[in-house]
Amino acid sequence: MPDPALLQARGLCTYYGTSQALFDVSIDVPSRGGVAILGRNGAGKTTLLKTLAGDLLPRAGSITFDGSDSTRRPTEARVRAGLGHVPQEQAVFSGMTVRENLLIGQMADRSHESKLEEMITLFPRLGERLSQKAGTLSGGERKMLAISRALLGKPYLIMLDEPTEGVWHGVIEEIAERLQKLAQNIAVLIVEQHVELALRVSRYCYVMDRGRVALQGPTEEIRNSPELVRLLAP
């Protein structure tokens, strides 16, 4: 990795009750560019993001973010430190309008510089739906809203869990382009089933298998690895 890591996770072990879901997972995310986490259903991708976000506490291992130990920091403190998280599910407040959802995102901005207009330029279709309830948006629009809300907090790192899940293929391209642009300015950690998109947005990849990192390397190397095909096969 050429850049110093913005986020470093070392030896993470996370459990659900007595069942272990992460085994000794270590990853680095540099301060710019995309990093992808790939893996079959149930490989542990969401568990890893939730552990990094502070929604789950690891039983072993450490997380350093922007030079500080954040292993036991509450989720809110991580958000304030610049860690944005767009979870796989329930990423928007359905009963609130698009505008209200965006205003909540803006409140998380420490610099008070984020602008709703920037998000509307990023995803123009949100601008046409500002007074619509988020619960009535399409799957793709909801993902765009969730991404925008997290971006309004001006994160240094945005973690995206399946940003194109349930999204019509025509809209996937729109999201992919925006994420590619975003990764030029901030760190993007992306979990994606849509492998081509993940490879396009990332410079480095981790492939998980049964709670472990089974393969990692620069995207250009991973792209042609026969091991990738095996690890993603059902």
Ligand X SMILES: Nc1ncnc2c1ncn2[C@@H]1O[C@H](COP(=O)(O)OP(=O)(O)OP(=O)(O)O)[C@@H](O)[C@H]1O
Residues forming the site for ligand X (CB under 6 A): 16, 19, 21, 39, 41-47, 88
Query: Of the two residues 21 and 145, which places its CB atom closer to ligand X in the complex?
Result: 21
Alpha helices in the chain (DSSP H): 45-53, 75-80, 98-107, 116-122, 124-127, 139-152, 169-182, 195-201, 219-223, 226-232
Tell me the residue number closest to Mg ion, measured at CB.
Answer: 46
Residue 163 contacts which entry, Mg ion, ligand X, none (Cβ below 5-8 A, type-dependent): none
Query: Of the two residues 16 and 90, which places its CB atom closer to ligand X in the complex?
Result: 16
Both tokens of 233, joined, read: 């096969």
Minimum gap (Å) between residue 46 Cβ and Mg ion: 3
Minimum gap (Å) between residue 108 Cβ and ligand X: 24
Nearest to 60 by CA among 223, 231, 211: 211
Minimum gap (Å) between residue 167 Cβ and ligand X: 15
Query: Of the two residues 88 and 180, which places its CB atom closer to ligand X in the complex?
Result: 88
Nearest to 47 by CA among 74, 76, 19, 73: 19
CA–CA dist 48, 165 (Å, integer): 18
Minimum gap (Å) between residue 75 Cβ and ligand X: 16
Query: Of the two residues 31 and 88, which places its CB atom closer to Mg ion in the complex?
Result: 88
Nearest to 39 by CA among 55, 53, 23: 23
The side-by-side arrangement of strands in the sheet containing 19-30 is: 19-30, 5-16, 60-65, 68-69
- Residue 4 is given by DSSP the state P
Beta bridge partners of 85: 159
Q: How far does Cα 154 stand from its chain's mean position? A: 14
Binding site for Mg ion (CB under 5 A): 45-46, 88
Nearest to 3 by CA among 176, 152, 183: 183
Query: Of the two residues 30 and 44, which places its CB atom closer to Mg ion in the complex?
Result: 44
Query: Of the two residues 42 and 135, which places its CB atom closer to ligand X in the complex?
Result: 42
Minimum gap (Å) between residue 34 Cβ and ligand X: 18
Residue 43 contacts which entry, ligand X, Mg ion, none (Cβ below 5-8 A, type-dependent): ligand X
Minimum gap (Å) between residue 190 Cβ and ligand X: 13
Are the C-beta atoms of residues 191 and 161 closer than 8 Å to each other? yes
